[in-house]
Amino acid sequence: MSPLRVAIVGFGKIARDQHVPAIATTEGVELVAIASRNASLPGVPHAATLDELLHDGPEIDAVALCTPPQVRHAQAAMALAAGKHVMLEKPPGATVAEITPLVTAARAAQRTLFATWHSRFASAVDPARQLLAGRKVISVKITWKEDVRVWHPGQAWIFEAGGLGVFDPGINALSILTRILPQPLFVTSADLAFPANRDAPIAANLALSDAEGLKITAELDFLQTGPQSWDIDLDTNGGPVTLSMGGARLRAGGAQLVDAADAEYAGLYRRFRELTATGESDVDLAPMQLVADAFLLGRRRTVEPFEDVP
């Protein structure tokens, strides 16, 4: 079988740190081009825009869209119209509704649309799902706190409308939660802290539930200095269960069950390769819907302005 020839569109920190090495170590996937106005990779053909790449670049089978979510819909539609498979970095777009026409376009073109949730591919997530399948979950506490200046330096788009703010990392926790729990979840309340000079929140506290009244709380913060916190603590009828380090570690019954190196993006590309072999799509919008509902229900508080350089 011929390798899947992939072009990365948007070449920022995540593309460099995660997508490039994942492609390099995934059998049957090959990086053949970069499209970016501001960055390139030595030895890899480069175009300034996706349009230029599609018209004048090397032959490709698929694009991985790593651009800000505000522009992803138009790029995905262009790539699908050109007969290319499309991988969407998370979140899949700036809104929930804009993804549905892309699903329709992918089906019509018999091409794959893959809305990725990389945290679901963390090493401990599926083991946690299997463990919880035999237990009753009593309550859940999410603590997802990181330093935006470390992980998104100079990326002003993340605090613009459609950029999600603290929900850019926070949606990772929600993607894990909607994977490991068996019933659909919904937001019951939200408190959102907006810097006075920004259009997206820098912190949030959420309450969620399911049809059986499960109590779920989430504390999200984009100003955490020192050790970073990416933890999901579950109280179950079989004792406490903890997913930590963004889903890389699983602890239950006083024992460390999983403690593995980061393999999330390699898992994404293996899945993308599987999907493109048949033209099947994989688009789960549950995490995005929870974020949208948090914005709908959220009580907005204005806090001090945020500057990228403290």
Q: Which are the catalytic amino acids?
A: 90
CA distances from 297 to 105, 111, 180, 192, 203 (A): 31, 36, 24, 10, 15
∠ CA 136-239-254 to the nearest 5 degrees? 145
Helices (H), 110-243: 125-132, 148-151, 167-180
Contact between residue 203 and residue 223 where contact means Cβ atoms under 8 Å apart = yes
Two tokens, residue 246: 């963004």
Nearest Cα to 169, choosing from 134, 201, 124?
201
Q: Give the residue carrying structure tokens 């699908």.
A: 80
Two tokens, residue 148: 């935006």
Contact between residue 229 and residue 238 where contact means Cβ atoms under 8 Å apart = no
Residue 18 CB partners (closer than 8 Å, separation 6+)? 118, 264, 265
DSSP state of 37: S
Helices (H), the chain: 13-14, 20-24, 50-56, 72-81, 99-109, 125-132, 148-151, 167-180, 264-278, 286-297
